[in-house]
Every structure is written in C-alpha cells, then in structure tokens.
Chains A and B, each alone.
Chain A
Amino acid sequence: MTVPKEMPEKWARAGAPHSWSRKKPSWGTEEERRARANDREYNEKFQYASNCIKTSKYNILTFLPVNLFEQFQEVANTYFLFLLILQLIPQISSLSWFTTIVPLVLVLTITAVKDATDDYFRHKSDNQVNNRQSQVLINGVLQQEQWMNVCVGDIIKLENNQFVAADLLLLSSSEPHGLCYIETAELDGETNMKVRQAIPVTSELGDISKLAKFDGEVICEPPNNKLDKFSGTLYWKENKFPLSNQNMLLRGCVLRNTEWCFGLVIFAGPDTKLMQNSGRTKFKRTSIDRLMNTLVLWIFGFLVCMGVILAIGNAIWEHEVGTRFQVYLPWDEAVDSAFFSGFLSFWSYIIILNTVVPISLYVSVEVIRLGHSYFINWDKKMFCMKKRTPAEARTTTLNEELGQVEYIFSDKTGTLTQNIMVFNKCSIHGRSYGDVFDVLGHKAELGERPEPIDFSFNPLADKKFLFWDPTLLEAVKMGDRHTHEFFRLLSLCHTVMSEEKNEGELYYKAQSPDEGALVTAARNFGFVFRSRTPKTITVHELGTAITYQLLAILDFNNIRKRMSVIVRNPEGKIRLYCKGADTILLERLHHSTQELLNTTTDHLNEYAGEGLRTLVLAYKDLDEEYYEEWAERRLQASLAQDSREDRLASVYEEVESDMVLLGATAIEDKLQQGVPETIALLTLANIKIWVLTGDKQETAVNIGYSCKMLTDDMTEVFIVTGHTVLEVREELRKAREKMMDSSRTVGNGFTYQEKLSSKLASVLEAVAGEYALVINGHSLAHALEADMELEFLETACACKAVICCRVTPLQKAQVVELVKKYKKAVTLAIGDGANDVSMIKTAHIGVGISGQEGIQAVLASDYSFSQFKFLQRLLLVHGRWSYLRMCKFLCYFFYKNFAFTMVHFWFGFFCGFSAQTVYDQYFITLYNIVYTSLPVLAMGVFDQDVPEQRSMEYPKLYEPGQLNLLFNKREFFICIAQGIYTSVLMFFIPYGVFAEATRDDGTQLADYQSFAVTVATSLVIVVSVQIGLDTGYWTAINHFFIWGSLAVYFAILFAMHSNGLFDMFPNQFRFVGNAQNTLAQPTVWLTIVLTTVVCIMPVVAFRFLRLHLKPDLSDTVRYTQLVRKKQKAQHRCMRRVGRTGSRRSGYAFSHQEGFGELIMSGKNMRVSSLALSSFTTRSSSSWIESLRRKKSDSASSPSGGADKPLKG
C-alpha cells in the first residue's frame, strides 16, 4: 500500500542526473534525522532518500543534452564550436563549415559512445544492486522486497552471508547478547571480522510479533561519510538510549557467522555511509598532459601572432594594392577601410590556421592510451594463474607516466610479503632443527630439497604444512621431554580459535598469521590444539586428549612484547608458558640456564641472519599458594579505578620472571614471488623504493633485508627513532653529516654547510656509497612537520632505500605528498589494503594488489594486478613503451600539423593576405582525420624500440623517461622547427617551379587548383615518409595503415575530382578533372620528388649522425642486437644470500591486543556449544567494552590515533 506512494518520488529522483550526490530533502539541509520504526507515514514527512541508488549519469532522454553539455565544458570543444560560428559569417569564412564540423562531430561522437557505454554498465550494476531482495517487516509480516523499495524506518531481516541493504540500527540477532559479526571488506578493505551489538533493550526483540510492535524513534546525526562514527538516541517507552557506531550495520557490509539479525533502516540509498564515501576519485593528469596543455596555449599564442602578422599584411596590401585593384575586385559593401579588412582577415586566418592545434589531438591521445591499457589488460605475463587475476588498467589516462616513475612507495604486508608465515626452524634445548641436509650431510640449498617429512601418523595433521628435517619428528617420537614441552607450549600459549566442521577437519582462526603458523606446527608434530572454552584448552597430545585448565592469559601488547598463559594440567600442576621477543624474554630467564642461553642465542643469530622472525619460548612452574596469591593481586589490579594498565603490567611482570628457557622458533615471513629480483631490477633502473609499512621496525627491517632493499654491502643504515623534534632533527643531521663525510673523503672537496640550500641538495645527491634510512612512525610525525620536512626529504632522497615503519595511512599519504611537492618526480604507490588507499590516491600513479580479499585499494587504484613482481613489467615494459610511443606520437603530430598549416602562412604573402587556403577544403577536412591519422595512431599504439626482454636486461633504458628526455619543450621546438622547415619547402619549391612554367601541352601549369593538388600531394607523401622514418617497428598493421593512407589519399583525390561528383554538385566539387590533369605532368612529379627529398634527407642525415656520434642506449642496444643477433642474454644471478651480523628478532604478533580478554570472558561463546566452540572469528578487534575503554585511553596519548592498528 505504501509502495506505490513512494514510487513517484523515486522516479522523480531518477530523472534528475546526479540526484544521488549529497541530495538533501528539498526543504533544506538536514540537521537531524528522525526515523520511527514501523511507521512509514510518519517517516515520509521528511522525504528521506529512498534506498534506490543511482550512479549512472544519463538516461535515454537526457543523454544527448547532458552529454553534449559536459563535452562542451571542455575548452577544446568550445573553441572548435567558436570556430564553427566564425565560419558561418560570410565575410570571415575562409573555409566551408564542414571543415570544422566533420572532425568536431567525429570527436564528439567517439566521446559520447564511450560515455554511453560506461553509463550502460553503471545502469546495469545499479539495477542489479537495486533489485536485490531483502526481507522487510510490513504490517507485521515479513515480505520480500527489492532493495530499492526499502525505506527509512523499515525493519528488515538479514541472514547469514547477506549484504546489508542500508545503514541499519541493529535491533536483535540470533547470537547471545544481540551480537552479530560483520565483514567490512567492501567498506574499508579490512578483511577481519568485526563485532556489532544491539543495545540491551532491543536485543530481546527476537521474534516478529514483538518487532512489529516496536515503535521506538531514532533521532540521530544527518547523513555523513564518517565510517567509524555515529551518534544518535533511541526514544522508546519514554526512555532514552544512546546509540553509537557499535550498534550500526552499514550498507556494504556482509553478515557473517550470524544466522539472522533484525535492523531498523536509518539511512537509505544515497544517504548511506557507503554512498557518501564513494565520491569521485580525484582526476589525475600526467605530466605530459600538463605539458601538452601548456604547449597548446603557446600554440594558440603563436596562432594569434600569425593572425596579427597576416592581418597587418592584409591591411597594408589593401591599402597599397587592393584599393587600386578594385577595378576587378571591389571591396565588400561592409568593408570601408583597409583596416577593417585587416580585422576581418585576422579572423579568417584564425579559422584556416587553427589546424596547428588539431581537434583530433586529444582524441588520438585518448585512443592511444586506451590501446596501451588494453595491452596491459591482455598481458599474459601479468596474469596470475593462481588467483586467475589479470592485470587491469583501471585508468586509461596515465599510461605514459608509467615510463617516468622515479619513486615507488610500497606497502609491505600483502604487497612485498604474502602475509603467510611458515614455521621454518626451531631451537629446542640447545639443539637446532630445520636445516635441510643432503645425503652427504652438507646443508642443502634451495631447490634441491628432499621430500618433506611424512605426517601421516597424525590424522589431525594439516596437509599443507611442510617440514624437511626428520630429526625433529624423531625427537618427538623418542619422547624427548624438552621437545614435548616445546610443542605443548606452542599448542597452549596462543589466542587461536579452532573450528571443527567435521571430525578431524580442524581450522584455526588466528589473529596473526605467525600464531597460526606456530600452532599449526605443534599440531603436525602431534600436539593438536583441538578446542577451547573460557576456562579450558583441549589438546590432543600424541593421540590422547588432555584438557588443561586455563587460569589466565597474560595478553600481548606492544610494550610487553610477550604473552603468557597460566594453565593447570590434569595432574594439577600449575605452569606458566611464555613466548616473546628475545630481547625481552632473555632478560627474564632463570640464571641457571646460562649455557643453554648462549647456544640458543647463537641459534637466534643464525636464524635472524637468514631473515627469519624469531620468538623465544620459556616456561615456569608455579606453586598453588603463589598462584592463589598472585591471582588475587591481579584481580585487585584489574578492578583498580586509576592506572589499571600500569598496575596490571607490573603484576604480569612479576610472575613472568625466572623462567626456564625452552627454545626458540623461527618463522619465515614469505615474500611474494620475485620480490627481491624486482626490487633489484627497479633499483638498477634508477627508481627509488620506499617501503611505508604499518609494521614495526624490526619486522620492516627484516623484510628490507630479505627483499634485498637493504644489503650488508651498504655503507650504513641510519635508524631514526627519536621521540622529540630535537632528537629527530639531531638524528637526521648526523645521518647527513656521515654521508657528507664519506663523500668528502672520496674527494669531492665540498665543505659542509649547516644551512639547507640547493647546494646541499646537489651535494647530497652526489653522495658516494650506499645508505639506507629507517624511520619510525613517531619520528616521521616530527619529520613531516613543515620546518623539518625539507631536511627529512633531502636526507631520505640521498639514501638508496628508505623504510618507514609504524606509519598511519595519513602519514603514508603525507610522505608521498612531500616527495611530490619538492621533487619534480613521478611517484607510484603500491599497496593492497584499505590503509594504502590514501597513498594510492595521492601518488601520481596508484597501483592496487588485486586478488586479495579487500578490494578497497584496487578500487582506488589506477592499475591493479596480483603480484608485486608484475611491477617491473608494468614499468619497464609497458610504461617505457607507452612513454616512448606517446612522445613519438606527440612529436610527429605537432610536426605534421605545422607542416600542413604553415603553408597557408607563406601563401598569405602571395595572395594579398586574403586568407586563401593553399589546399582544397576537402583536403583540409580530411588531412587530420583520414590521410594522416591512422599511421601515427598505429605508431602510437604498436611502436617498440627494443624488444621487451631487452628492457629487462638493460634497466638503464628506463632513464630517458625519468629525465623527461623524449618529449619536452626543447623537443617540441625541434618538431615545430622541422614542421616549419617542411612548410617552407612545401610552399617555395612548387612556387619556384610553377612561377613561370607551363605544361607539356603548353597550357598554363600554375593554376590555383594544380598548385593545390601538387602541394597537397607532396605534403601527404612527405609526412608519410616521415612517419615511415619514425616508425621503428613495422608490423603488418603499420604497413597497412601507411600504404593504405597513401592509397586512400589518391583514391579520394581522384574521386573528388571526378566528373560524376561534379555533375551532381558543381559548386562543391570545383576541382573536376584536376587530379588526372595535374598528376599526369612530369614536372609535378619532379616537384614532388624534389620536395620529399629536400624535406627528408636532412632528417635522415641528422639521425644517422646522432646514431653514430651520440647514440643513446636504446640505439646502442638495437645496434648491437643487429650486429650480434646471437648475443647471449646476460642472466642475472639472484641467489638468496644469507646475512650474518646484527640479529633481527621479531616478535611475531600484530600490534593489537589479542583475544585474551574475549576468550576469558566467554562472552563470544554460545552457552550451548561451549565445549566445542565452533565460531569463526578471525577478528583482531577486541571486546566491545574494552575497545571503548582503550579508545578513550589512547586518545589521551599524543600519538594514540597515529598508532592505530595497521595491517602492514
């Protein structure tokens, strides 16, 4: 009944374009939102947006006007419209109207077709989304409704794995306490699950009859785009209940692990936070675009100058000659003076000379970029077989910029690393396991590993777990006490959740992959963590189920860098198991284990040298009384009103002392395939790589070493960890001084000046030796302040590698912005997570790693692919080619149009500056769109200077792009000069020949039409030869287009000059018979040949001399390739070399508090299924209350916001 009422409003909205964007109710800006449950009539008063979304711009009726309006907002299009209007004035019109309108219509049509296709897909996706079904409670009955018919105030039911249809207030759910779990990947890209809870009063509204009677009213903030904030109040039964973001389910989330839930629609359709957030991404332009715009402006200036010169010429001519020539050619009635005639001729010349900036330039550029984008999409070598994901150019306008990248900002987790942790080695009671030996007992290298050991004895083993050292399994089977204790610790001391779908099919949901790896290792070696309840942990130890009583979890945090559990085993003994970072834990060991400690330390150093992340394990027996007393103190501490955290920490500290060392684990943070090779190659291509990660310093440095960003050959790695401005400044200064010192000793002889100047910058750029800089998040915050950013930038840019750890998403963007601001360099940001979005959007080019669970980064990116290693191909092959092609294209394009247009200028001096064209008007119309467009497009799309494998072998080939060598103002002037040179010859050679010549039958040769045909033909031939010279890679398509263009030129020429067309339209086709008469003359062909040779030979000579006197690298590469075709490719050896030296211990946890509290509270576990808890939280978010509390705590600390948990 209410649905039809709503329809007109919806359609009214759909009619207006952009209606979805920030549309407010018509009576003004919404100040607060009121929604009453189950009362559509009441809610309709406010005219809230319906849940129908509309991202499309046009419909069938509005397409033409709206699209045309948009297109004419482009300056170029308006300019051509202006020209068109000028041409309609008969006194000015020097060309027929169609010379402009044909290209203009063509350009507009191409753009319109593209827009229409885009919009069609948006319509399709809108329809698909709008027609999704959801269950709405109407008049006490659940009814199936389409999403678009859901409106504010409705109560809807969601089921597991369904998308949330609108922004809902969670009322109740199938889970206890009104809990529900959601995945927010679509919203913010975070793949972990989050918990939402209904407020207690509504959580009891479980069934439909109760819900139908619910008539609470929500008053809340107006729609906004803050994803993590919500404030409102629920008025129900004369009570007020505060609402927060914890009670909200936002559109775009997916319900997980919750059978059903009910929600009250608060914001619908365009008002939802998802839609409010989906603003258009900032339009990025390439540097070539900007250069092109400048050049086009210059050309306009040039055009005006030419117009003025010719107009003055006209005024003088009319004054000197024209007045007297009036016997034969009276002035127009409107023209009363030479001056006015000059004025008119100015506009006439603007019309005929406008082809210096051809309308087809912008379209051609777009076409070429589109072609390059398709090549990226089609590239098989950038297709990830595993994830079935192709590379995708999501933006088609940035391709050539890929060939100019100087700085790469990379995320770590998920980008450089796979975020997969592998249990690799361990040291148990002074003995190291995990090294792989071959038959002779030598350490085996990678790739020659024997078969991994067989875990089939253990039915609960994880099949995917691989381990090669059989001695460890033997030790377990032999019943080695320490080994058992070691794995027992791993199976007990963690916060992993288990899920057993079928008997024996265990799934672990770990908060961090490190933990998962450790627990899985224990599982395979026979210590299977099976299930847990708030008070117990059940472990299958070598086949027997043993249930430990869980007394306490001493959870992880950033300061403690360790976690412990206190358990009571079936025998009743209480034991504390602890694992943590070596630096922390080794201090807390019992002194009796000194010798063991030394061996273990040696092992730790060895592991760290191999780039592994290590953890130290220890245990401690507690006696009953001590524990009782300790537990009491802990309780007291946890109940304390003030400084509870500190007090708890000291209580924990107390019990975690005098522990007995068990051993250490080493986990490999698996790099993505080919990362070190890619980084090495990109470095050779002179691209600087900065890693910006949310991870902590140790992990980041570790990865830096394992992916060869940092090497031991480096002169020094500076680490900046200062907490205050002064410290940071000091550290940066020291780093610079060191670099200066060494370069001074090398012999540069510069005296260092404290003042930051351009000289300093240049000195630092020339620093000898390789340095790296590692900077921490809190130091970075200071370094990015306005007065220090330059200092930081200079220091960082002098280093070969820069690693920023613990950075927030905002800081990532700031760093990119900083480089963008001061270095005139192209930046590229690559990342996979929501935390990279800001940096991806800020950088000139954003690359998203696709195939991951979150797609936020991909959605914000310009290019996406699934492996970091594809970056080398994207930049060195596609980017390089795109840049090369675009530059060649632009050079040629400007050249050909100047050659074409400037002929009119010279002719002006011989035709009384009357704006007479040299060519037939059809030639002018077709020159740019038919005769010369396809060959240059083919070159722009297909050209290659060196084969793709060469650009990988010689990364230096990438440099011209970075230095902007192939198309810059200088190159532009060279092209223009060449064009003008050609135009001079193009006019004056025929002029010289024609002046007094006659045909071979004695009739006049130098008639206007023959002259036009001769000049036009030589022009087409010259520019075709020139494109032939420019084309470095003649595919069949190039041949087809170049020869085809010439053929088409002659075909059209003869057709236009044919009798048939003349008979039909004598006034339009005046050149009848001209082609055959003119082109039959040997003199004409001699002229054409002469013109061609004179135009082309200097170019050939110049190129030949440059090739031999000053060859650039790509010439050399091609040359050597030609000379020695069978030259063996240089293979680069990229062996993993173990690093010895400083130990890099990494505590293998994420930086958030674990699940300890959640587990111990038991709140998340069903009463019915406590024994075998089957829930699947992968979440890292903490329990609601504690989260709230901690938020308020962290808000008070200075960088609390900045240290927000990051994914890496």
Chain B
Amino acid sequence: MTWSATARGAHQPDNTAFTQQRLPAWQPLLSASIALPLFFCAGLAFIGLGLGLYYSSNGIKELEYDYTGDLGTSNCSVCAAAGQGRSPPPRCSCAWYFSLPELFQGPVYLYYELTNFYQNYRRYGVSRDDEQLSGLPSALRHPANECAPYQLSAAGLPIAPCGAIANSLFNDSFSLWHQRRAGGPYVEVPLDRTGIAWWTDYHVKFRNPPLVNGSLALAFQGTAPPPNWHRPVYDLSTDPNNTGFINQDFVVWMRTAALPTFRKLYARIRQGNYSTGLPRGAYRVNITYNYPVRAFGGHKLIIFSSISWMGGKNPFLGIAYLVVGSLCILMGFVMLVVYIRYQDQNDEDEDEE
C-alpha cells in the first residue's frame, strides 16, 4: 500500500491518432468485388499453369530399372544372393540390357534410386561432423561425438569421414555401353561425373584438410576409413579435385534425403555424340553390385531421365494445379450464386428498413 493516490491533476492524454486509436487504416472487407474475381482469376491462372506443367512433365522421358536382384527378376539376383549375409559382400557385377527404339532426347541424366532407406532418421542425420568435412584439422583428429559409433575405429584411430552417413556411402558403380548396330561392338558412353553436387557443397561446405607436404594421403595420416569402406577417403579418385572430402559421389551422398525413397544424381550424359541424347540402339549398363539393401527390404534402381525447366518428371504438380484451379472456379461459381441470391434479399431487407 502506498500513499500515492491515483495520479490526480495529471496531464491530459495526448491527442494523437495513435493514443486515441484513430490511426489511418485500410479496412478491407471480403466483398464480392474482391472475392469473386480473386477466385476466378486464381482458378484460371492455376489451370493454365497446371496444363503447362502437365505437358512439360509428360514430355520428360524416364527409363528405370530395379536391379536389387530379388530372386529371378534379373541377372543381378546372383549378386544379391551372393551378398546375402556377408559383410563386406564380395565384389560382383551384373548388367542391364535395354534398347531404345528412338532418340532419348537429352541431355540425359543417370540416377540411382534407393527405397526404404532412412537417410532422414534422426540419429542417422546427425551422425556426421561438418567441421571435419570442412577440412578443419582439429576436427579431423577429434571427430564429433555425434559420429558414434563411427567416431573411432576399433584401433582407436579417428575415423575420417566419421559417422553413419559417410560409412553407408553408396558404392555401386555404373558404366553405360552403346551398341550402334545390332551385333556391333558396345562402345562406352562417356559419363560426366563432375558437377553432380551443389556448387556450394563442393566449394564451401566440403573441403579437404590442408595438404601435408603436398600430399593428401599424409594429411589423412593417423585416421582410419569408415569400416564399410574398402579404400581410404583420399583414394576415392585419382583426380585431385574429386578425391578426399570433395569427391562428388561422396558430397552427393552426404546431402541426405528428406524421404525414405530418394534418387541421387550419378552422372550426366552430355559429351560427344551423346550431347543431344541417347541415340536409338541397344544399350548395356554394367553394374558393380556392392551395396546391400535387401537386408532392410530396400530396393536399388537405376534411372535415365531427361529434364525440363521445372526439373525432372513431376506429374503431381501439374495435376495438383489443375485440380486446385478447377476447384477455385467451382467455388467461385458457388459464391457467385450465393452472392446474387442473397444480394437481392439484403437489398429488400434494407428497403424495408
């Protein structure tokens, strides 16, 4: 309790628009003149966009092949069976034959797709050390705890790159062969394996540790490769710009997927005769089958796809736009009917008043 009574003889409140709640304001009302055109315009725009999307998505060709090797489905089943229950699985290769009756309009992209693979599982997703991957020497020697159990090798050496993501690097490889004439020799189609990762990932996020005596191998001395790897990280490629942490396959893999089914870019076909696409003829894809997925019910697919301004084949977006556009128009008509009917009534009511 205080003795100060309420402020008596206080100053008169300021007479400003703010204090008197008279700020100039726009007071929109959802009137017919706004709502109806909005619905019709939105509807028309959506239908237009939807048609465009639908046709451009339909124009995209896709060719996919499940090479998981479930029993009797393909010649990869041998490899799948051989790898069953063995770790690491033995080296094995298989092939996929297909023929194109006409030109596969290019540029053509080669993807691999994994299903039922939970790259978005929380513990999987955090099991990496971005400091290590950005080339910090200290982090190279002391991987983050999140990497456990792939933090230190059995011998107690720090694992580089550490963590479950790196350990599970996809290690199947593909090569594409083209037979121009029936019975002719297969010619290898050049696969462009560069530039398959994001520019920022390749240039900013992933960096090799500073070279020691000009050698990347020495820089990684004292570290162990992840247990599943056959080669140390500095040996991923002979190209110095594509090895170590900045190996493009590795970078692509490390950008984890949002959903359990995902496809990742393997290569582009844009060189030489193949820059316009894959000409007609028979093809063979040689697959080195290393990566076990059948244990957890996953599948591996290989996909050829062309691309448009909106990316790869995407029927969902076009259809969704068409549906939503139509619904907008329909709703617009319902509202128009209601508006006309009740407008008359309101007018009458007001006249009566």
Contact = CB atoms under 8 A, between A and B. Distances in A.
Interface in B284-303: 292, 295-297
Interface stretch (A204-212, A447-455, A678-686, A1000-1008): A1000-1008
A1070 B134 CA distance: 11
B5 to A, nearest CB: 5
Given A327-B296, A1082-B310, A1086-B53, A1008 B119 contact: yes
A994 B167 CA distance: 26
B118 interface: yes
Interface string A646-679: 0000000000000000000000000000000000
A1077 B295 contact: no
B10 A274 contact: no
Contacts of B168: 327-329
A389 B6 contact: yes
Give the residue among A390, A995, A1004 with the most B Cβ atoms within 10 A: A1004
A1122 B167 CA distance: 67
B271 interface: no
Interface string A365-395: 0000000000101111101010111101010
A612 B129 CA distance: 90
Contacts of A1008: 119-120, 125, 255-258
A1079 B343 CA distance: 44
A1034 B28 contact: yes
A664 to B, nearest CB: 40
Interface stretch (A5-13, A235-243, A255-263, A1093-1101): A1093-1101
A1035 B17 CA distance: 11
B221 to A, nearest CB: 22
Contacts of A881: 21
B59 interface: no
Given A324-B297, A1008-B258, A55 B263 contact: no
A858 interface: yes
A1007 B320 contact: no
A308 interface: no
Interface string B151-177: 000000000000010011000000000
Contacts of A1035: 23-25
B129 A328 contact: no
A914 interface: yes
B311 interface: yes
A545 interface: no
Nearest to B17: A1035
A850 B6 contact: yes
A998 B307 contact: yes
A662 to B, nearest CB: 44
B164 A329 contact: yes
A327 B261 CA distance: 18
B29 interface: yes
B118 A1105 contact: no
A378 B30 contact: no
B27 interface: yes
B328 A1097 contact: yes
A1104 B257 contact: no
Contacts of B307: 998, 1000-1002
Interface string A296-337: 000000000000000000000000010011011110110000
Interface residues of B, number: 110
Give the residue among A377, A387, A1066, A1074 with the most B Cβ atoms within 10 A: A1066
A277 B1 CA distance: 9
A1073 B200 contact: yes
B123 A325 contact: no
Contacts of B133: 1066
Contacts of B259: 910, 991, 994-995, 1006, 1011
B316 A1066 contact: no
A1032 B27 contact: yes
Contact of B21 (A375, A383, A1009): A375
Contacts of A1100: 30, 35, 38-39
A1109 interface: yes
B70 interface: no
A162 interface: no
B6 A329 contact: no
Contacts of A1107: 30
B191 interface: no
Given A911-B120, A1108-B339, A998 B263 contact: yes
Contact of B335 (A324, A1093, A1105): A1105
Interface band, chain A:
35 or more
Given A321-B118, A390-B10, A1034 B25 contact: yes
B311 A998 contact: yes
A1118 interface: yes
A1192 B326 CA distance: 89
Nearest to B341: A1108
B213 interface: no
Given A325-B296, A1008-B120, A378 B256 contact: no
A916 B13 contact: no
A726 interface: no
Contacts of B312: 996-999, 1002, 1005
B261 A995 contact: yes
Contacts of A1036: 23-24
B27 A1034 contact: yes
Interface in A797-851: 850-851
A1086 to B, nearest CB: 6
Contacts of B335: 1101, 1104-1105, 1108
Contact of B260 (A392, A910, A1010, A1034): A910
A997 B262 contact: no
A462 B207 CA distance: 98
A1120 B116 CA distance: 59
Given A910-B259, A1004-B252, 13 more contacts: A55-B1, A328-B167, A378-B19, A389-B6, A911-B120, A993-B320, A1007-B256, A1007-B258, A1008-B119, A1034-B27, A1038-B25, A1073-B198, A1108-B338
Interface of A: 55, 90, 94, 122, 125-126, 128-129, 163, 186, 252, 274-275, 277-278, 321, 324-325, 327-330, 332-333, 348, 375, 377-381, 383, 385, 387-390, 392, 394, 850-851, 855, 858-859, 864, 881, 910-912, 914-916, 942, 944, 948, 989, 991-1012, 1032-1038, 1059, 1062-1063, 1066-1067, 1070, 1072-1074, 1076-1077, 1081-1083, 1086-1087, 1090, 1093-1094, 1097, 1100-1101, 1103-1105, 1107-1109, 1118-1120, 1122
8 contacts: A55-B2, A274-B1, A324-B297, A379-B20, A392-B6, A994-B258, A997-B317, A998-B307
